[in-house]
Structure 1
Amino acid sequence: MPTFVENIASFLPIRVLNCFAADPTPLADPASSSFEAAVLFVDISGFTALTERLAQKGSIGVEELTTHLNAYFGQLIELIIAHKGDIVKFAGDAMLAIWPAESLSLDLATYCAAQCALAILNDLGEYQAANAQLQLHIGIGAGELKEFYIGGMNGRWEYFVAGEPIAQVALAETAAGIGEVCLSLTAWELIKDQFVGTLLASNVVRLEGFNLLTCVADRRLLNIGESAPIAIYDQMQERLERYVSLGVLQRLKVGQTDWLGDLRRVSVMFLNLPGMDYDAEGSLDFISTIINAIQNILQVYEGILNKFLVDDKGSTLVIGFGLPPFSHEDDSVRCAIAGMALLEKLRSLGLQPKIGIATGTCYSGVIGSEQRREYTIIGAVVNLAARLMQAAQDGILCDERTFEFAKSRIQFESLTPIKLQGIKDAVQVFSPLGEVRQDLPWWMAGKTAKSMVGREKERLLLRHKLELLKAGVSGVVVICGDAGIGKSCLIENLLLQAQEFGVGILVGAGNANAQSKPYHAWNTVFSHLWDLSFLPDLDAKKRQVLDLLEDEPEWLEKAALFNEVLGLDFPDTEVSAGLVGPQRAEATRDLLVQLLQNSVNRSPKLLVFEDAHWPDSSSRALILAVAQKVKRLLLAIGTRLMGESVPEEYDRMLRIEGVEQLHLEAMPARYFRFALSAFEGKEFT
């Protein structure tokens, strides 16, 4: 039975495992190196249609689909490994493998790749799965590859290869018909004496078979021995884990090595970065900057980077919102907002990204065998997102389902329906413009303060606090309790009551995955105050801030202090550059406190913080400063019970005179019976 480390290792290429076996110390910095190799790309058509058909059968269909996927990919993996190949990446229903020219010469490596391709066609060329014919197209290239170990944000890393052979296989595979293998001219020159081929008009060679006479005569081919065994040992665990998805790691850690895939609603994003030059001087640092920026944004919105692929059209990232270990009701919203954030950030780095987003049900799960496997997503929605990316010139295109799920939160532009490759009818598409401006959080649309059951005492106290606020009296209320006890429900009721009172509302929130990001809990608060959230790009946001600071010359000198809070990039002035360390932190807090005070001077406001147990130390320090200094403000904080581990800032806040603490306990059973009766439309007795 494989060990835990061996199970993790099955998700990584042999080349990566050998690298880590030689030095298991986790990388501190990105790295790259070059090597020659033959490259094979196998594209399998038919799995998407099979997925959609079996999905109609529910859980039985999922089990059947998992069986077919693993049976097919298991054979494909076995054939590649038997021919000394190394599987670098699964690309949905495709696969990329390499034959490094290290223990072999490049011509022998290419020979092995071609031999493997013919074996794949022989064994899997007419494969039937649930009465569906799966079809193969194979491309082969050869030359110098460049490998990258990139990432590092929150310990997450990516491995990928790039270079001319990748572009070669993309062109060759595109030219290959059903059940055909095509080679680039470079690859063909290396093996033309051992094989028979036909030159095509597309300037690639279709592989017809072996040249039996020359294959037998070439004694070198008899010396291709078995691959050396891979060394896997426990000291590699920490480094290996950094390259495996969090959802997979969670399953492996509880012993679930052979779990079934599932059908889940996912918002899929395809992000393409055209024109990336991986051979340019300084490319490693630039690519590292890009990947770190992407990782940072995905961390905030809890999207999962599923694939990083490189081909002749640039670099493409496949990202899922709703994939393990994260799943939210608002995944479509998160995906669209993350898309806008990525577009803005990547443009600021000089790139012209193209993004396609689609929402729907797809198959997600681990496919392959104990030798090699990956977590992947397959389905029509994945293909649709890819087609939308291809159609997006320099921006974001979303499908109609994403629009329907996200329109209450995001403003969209409806575009003319377009024709997409592989889709019969024209597709209605939308482009997100920005978040909708509204006082109440978007998820509360249509709710009323009267819809809550129980917590009468707490609701009355909060109502009294709102009445005092209307009279200009400040207050601080801390609502604490265990997870799931009802803190969010009570806070929602408070927000609804505030709306009825005509009190202005500001909402901030902590995020477990953004604790290293200073002031992350305050971004939405100040973005709302300055009407930044619906502006299309960074330049527009900066212009808006400068316009608002026009009458405050002292603030203009310190505009760079807003950068961390609002995600801006104002350059330091002579004044702000002189503020460093604790002095800069204090100056930033004072500036933000004054900004908030100026706002509530015009009209009193309710400021709510959800998940206040997650904010970073800068956010907590600002919460304390606001509680101490800002007048005409009701500050309401929702947090889990902190016990003895109360952060210093909260401990000091709780000591402020007049602070109310509401410790929520479980409600009596009668309230649950009442709520259930109301839900079922029955009279409560």
Structure 2
Amino acid sequence: MDLLANHDYDINNRFVEYDQVVPNFVSKNVREYCDRLAKAKAKEIQLTGGGKPPAAHPELSTASVAANAVNMEPTATEAFAAVVMVDVSGYSTLTSTLSDQGAIGAEILSKTMKGYLDKIIQTILLHGGDIVKFAGDAVIFYWKVKPSPKMSPADEEIERGEVVLKACHCCMDLLNNLGTYHIDVPQSSTDTLRIHLGIGAGKVFDIYVGGNPGRWEHFIAGDAVSQLSHVLDLAKAGELAMSHQALKFFSGVVNIDTVNIGDYDKRCIILHGLENAKRKISAPSPKEDEDLALWEIAPVEANVELYKKFINQSALYKLQADINQCRLFRAESGLHGLLSLHELRQVTTVFIKLGSLSRWETKEQLVEAQEAMNIVQAALNRYEGSLRQFHVDDKGATILCFFGLPPLAHENDAEYGIKAAMEICEEFKIIFSDFSIGMTTGIVSTGGVGNAIRTEYAVMGDSINMAARLMCHPEAHLSILVDQRSFNLCERILHFDSLGEVKVKGKTRPIAIFRPKELRIDPGSHRVSVHRNPADIIGRLLEKELVARTLSYSQSDSEAKAPLVIMMAEGGQGLSSMVDYTKQ
């Protein structure tokens, strides 16, 4: 069998094609949005005679023309939704512990979290939830009420209660089956992971922002999302917290006296169980569009081009590379096999928080979000970084960027990252009165999570958590904070202010933080005099002895085969100095 030929095998078990998997990387909402745009454009092309598709496949051919012709615009669509965020407790501690193990620790973290997240994702999809974002150890998902002019106000209230009830059933299923997840991690005291959840209900906006050079983002914001910032922190590990707004709609379809409720105060309600819950009205009949199979089927081929605009470039690159690798080595490249391939890299993380966009109340805030997106994309395009995501969660509005993920990887990614962060910072100061930026550098692991319906390449590592901690530190307000490794890698080109050491969540010891000031006039002159004399290198006794012995051996026997010495080290560990020592 020719493994490089095109095949139409089962996506879960055998060989899969690139375009078969791409749709799984976007939410159901994004797929429907792109499909509507492509269909409208195809109709326009047919009416104007701009495309003359062959009779055999008229719809596909017209859609192919339409997909390339669609011009997306920033939009904010209002609806009612029940929004849930599930967060893994114990993740920060586990991440910090594994960071001491270096690169292998990042890989263990990624594979450990994959097993847990796979099961969480499967449960959410079985209950009909639409996953909007994967945010590290958290997942944001929702159920929407689709507005209809035929729906009476009374029916609409019932429909709102029904989506909150669906959210509650899903959350209780998650807690009952995955509330405690046992793990076996070498050299770690953490042997279990737990989840806690929050539910908000009310107005949401489906936000679409993006543009040049072609990357788009979808996220949700509004009152229902804002409620999560209050209730999620009140839910302990193994608990579900519900906002009072969500309870109001929930009580419209369920008799509250039959529900197992724990704590009840003015901030939230802790829901313990629905096993004895009795409905006030009969359950509605299933709706046709709730059948998951309806959006598991392959979409019109050309619409995949629109989906790609919502997927970061590094994920698309890794997907294609993993498919090629599986075929090259004659391994099964079914979706399960693809998502099991992990990659380790040193990456610079730039985490941005936009305080002014933390609460969405009107569509007018779309302008601010689009301006932020324009500034970030321009900087990333100039310094070859990757936009991971723009989203709103319990921490507010955040933008996550990486420098060093393929295909945009460089020897000096930290320098690229700090220059981009400084450019973004200066532009933001003109527009926004409240923002902060955290930047770190470290080893991360990239690997897939999910299943045949919803998939994501998760990027995990302690340095990403630390970037979020720095971003939220008060000293980061209207500026940038960087960690020790980023400082070491960028000190050659930048002046920094040392802000001492601070305590952060997940670390037993304080960490050093720095604030970048301005570029050095002559970066090449910085610290040259320190190592002008090779003997000034401190330590490295074994390395010096090896170099001396190798050179001595080569000089004593000119006809002998020259021995080979390979020097390897992570960035900032003195590799360049050691090379200079060897040359001299």
Q: How has the CA–CA distance of structure 1 residues 253 and 260 changed in structure 2, closer, same or farther, with 3 Å as cutoff? A: closer
How far off its partner does 1:399 sit?
1.3
SS of the residue 2:273 aligns to: strand
- Mapped contact 1:69–1:368 kept (Cα < 8 A): no
How far off its partner does 1:298 sit?
1.1
User: 1:248 is matched with which residue: 315, 318, 323?
Assistant: 315
User: Which position in structure 2 is the counterpart of 1:187?
Assistant: 246
User: Given the alignment of the two structures, is residue 173 of structure 1 paired with residue 240 of structure 2, yes or no?
Assistant: no
User: Which position in structure 2 is the counterpart of 1:142?
Assistant: 201
User: Which position in structure 1 is the counterpart of 2:412?
Assistant: 330
SS of the residue 1:298 aligns to: helix
SS of the residue 2:303 aligns to: helix
User: Which position in structure 1 is the counterpart of 2:53?
Assistant: none
- Mapped contact 1:183–1:206 kept (Cα < 8 A): yes
Q: Match for 1:127: what amino acid?
A: Y
Q: How has the CA–CA distance of structure 1 residues 675 and 412 changed in structure 2, closer, same or farther, with 3 Å as cutoff? A: farther
How far off its partner does 1:675 sit?
12
User: Given the alignment of the two structures, is residue 30 of structure 1 paired with residue 74 of structure 2, yes or no?
Assistant: yes
User: 2:388 is matched with which residue: 288, 306, 327?
Assistant: 306
User: Given the alignment of the two structures, is residue 110 of structure 1 paired with residue 124 of structure 2, yes or no?
Assistant: no
User: Given the alignment of the two structures, is residue 7 of structure 1 paired with residue 33 of structure 2, yes or no?
Assistant: no
Query: How do residues 429-444 of structure 1 correspond to structure 2 at under 5 angstroms?
Result: 429-438=513-522, 440=524
Q: How has the CA–CA distance of structure 1 residues 213 and 328 changed in structure 2, closer, same or farther, with 3 Å as cutoff? A: closer
User: Which position in structure 2 is the counterpart of 1:151?
Assistant: 210
Query: How do residues 458-537 of structure 1 correspond to structure 2 at under 5 angstroms?
Result: none
How far off its partner does 1:416 sit?
3.2
User: Which position in structure 2 is the counterpart of 1:68?
Assistant: 112
User: Which position in structure 1 is the counterpart of 2:347?
Assistant: 266
User: Given the alignment of the two structures, is residue 100 of structure 1 paired with residue 163 of structure 2, yes or no?
Assistant: no
- Mapped contact 1:273–1:351 kept (Cα < 8 A): no
What is the rounded CA distance, in whole Å, between the counterparts of 1:678 and 1:425 in structure 2?
34
SS of the residue 1:19 aligns to: helix
User: Which position in structure 2 is the counterpart of 1:122?
Assistant: 176
- Mapped contact 2:96–2:506 kept (Cα < 8 A): no
What is the rounded CA distance, in whole Å, between the counterparts of 2:245 and 2:281 in structure 1?
20
- Mapped contact 2:492–2:523 kept (Cα < 8 A): no
User: 1:17 is matched with which residue: 31, 45, 49?
Assistant: 31
TM-score, scaled to structure 2: 0.72
- Mapped contact 1:141–1:187 kept (Cα < 8 A): yes
Q: Match for 2:283: what amino acid?
A: R
- Mapped contact 1:366–1:374 kept (Cα < 8 A): yes
- Mapped contact 2:77–2:206 kept (Cα < 8 A): yes
How far off its partner does 1:183 sit?
0.5
User: Which position in structure 1 is the counterpart of 2:512?
Assistant: 428
Which shifted more, 306-315 or 72-81? Answer: 306-315
Q: How has the CA–CA distance of structure 1 residues 339 and 143 changed in structure 2, closer, same or farther, with 3 Å as cutoff? A: same
SS of the residue 2:492 aligns to: coil
- Mapped contact 1:34–1:145 kept (Cα < 8 A): yes
Sequence identity, in percent? 29
- Mapped contact 2:379–2:424 kept (Cα < 8 A): yes
How far off its partner does 1:273 sit?
0.8
How far off its partner does 1:110 sit?
0.6
What is the rounded CA distance, in whole Å, between the counterparts of 1:681 and 1:146 in structure 2?
57
Q: How has the CA–CA distance of structure 1 residues 336 and 63 changed in structure 2, closer, same or farther, with 3 Å as cutoff? A: closer
SS of the residue 2:83 aligns to: strand
SS of the residue 1:417 aligns to: strand
SS of the residue 2:261 aligns to: strand
User: Which position in structure 2 is the counterpart of 1:41?
Assistant: 85
Q: How has the CA–CA distance of structure 1 residues 341 and 28 changed in structure 2, closer, same or farther, with 3 Å as cutoff? A: same
The two structures, once aligned, show a CA RMSD in angstroms of: 3.2
Q: Residue deviations 1:168-202, cap 9 Å, x none? A: 12211110001000000000112233533234446
Query: How do residues 663-682 of structure 1 correspond to structure 2 at under 5 angstroms?
Result: none
Query: How do residues 574-589 of structure 1 correspond to structure 2 at under 5 angstroms?
Result: none
User: 1:237 is matched with which residue: 298, 301, 304?
Assistant: 304
Q: How has the CA–CA distance of structure 1 residues 439 and 224 changed in structure 2, closer, same or farther, with 3 Å as cutoff? A: closer
Q: How has the CA–CA distance of structure 1 residues 266 and 112 changed in structure 2, closer, same or farther, with 3 Å as cutoff? A: same
Q: Residue deviations 1:317-345, cap 9 Å, x none? A: 12112122222221222222211111100
What is the rounded CA distance, in whole Å, between the counterparts of 1:365 and 1:266 in structure 2?
14
- Mapped contact 1:269–1:385 kept (Cα < 8 A): yes
- Mapped contact 2:99–2:106 kept (Cα < 8 A): yes
Figure out how many residues of one structure are paired with residues of the other and give that number: 460
Higher-Rg member (1/2) = 1
How far off its partner does 1:36 sit?
0.9
Q: Match for 2:282: what amino acid?
A: R
User: Which position in structure 2 is the counterpart of 1:399?
Assistant: 483
- Mapped contact 1:92–1:378 kept (Cα < 8 A): yes
How far off its partner does 1:313 sit?
4.5
User: 2:436 is matched with which residue: 342, 354, 361?
Assistant: 354
SS of the residue 2:500 aligns to: coil
- Mapped contact 2:106–2:460 kept (Cα < 8 A): no
Q: How has the CA–CA distance of structure 1 residues 445 and 22 changed in structure 2, closer, same or farther, with 3 Å as cutoff? A: farther
Q: Match for 1:249: what amino acid?
A: L
Unaligned regions of 5+ residues in structure 1, if any?
449-669
Q: Residue deviations 1:541-573, cap 9 Å, x none? A: xxxxxxxxxxxxxxxxxxxxxxxxxxxxxxxxx
What is the rounded CA distance, in whole Å, between the counterparts of 2:235 and 2:112 in structure 1?
25
Q: How has the CA–CA distance of structure 1 residues 156 and 184 changed in structure 2, closer, same or farther, with 3 Å as cutoff? A: same
Q: How has the CA–CA distance of structure 1 residues 167 and 213 changed in structure 2, closer, same or farther, with 3 Å as cutoff? A: closer
Q: Residue deviations 1:80-111, cap 9 Å, x none? A: 11111000000001000000112981111110
Q: How has the CA–CA distance of structure 1 residues 101 and 170 changed in structure 2, closer, same or farther, with 3 Å as cutoff? A: same
Larger RCO of the pair (alpha carbons < 8 Å, separation 6+): 2
Q: Residue deviations 1:400-455, cap 9 Å, x none? A: 1111111111100011322323433332211000111107498999999xxxxxxx
What is the rounded CA distance, in whole Å, between the counterparts of 2:516 and 2:484 in structure 1?
12
- Mapped contact 2:76–2:363 kept (Cα < 8 A): no
User: Given the alignment of the two structures, is residue 295 of structure 1 paired with residue 377 of structure 2, yes or no?
Assistant: yes
User: Which position in structure 1 is the counterpart of 2:134?
Assistant: 90
Q: Match for 1:371: what amino acid?
A: I
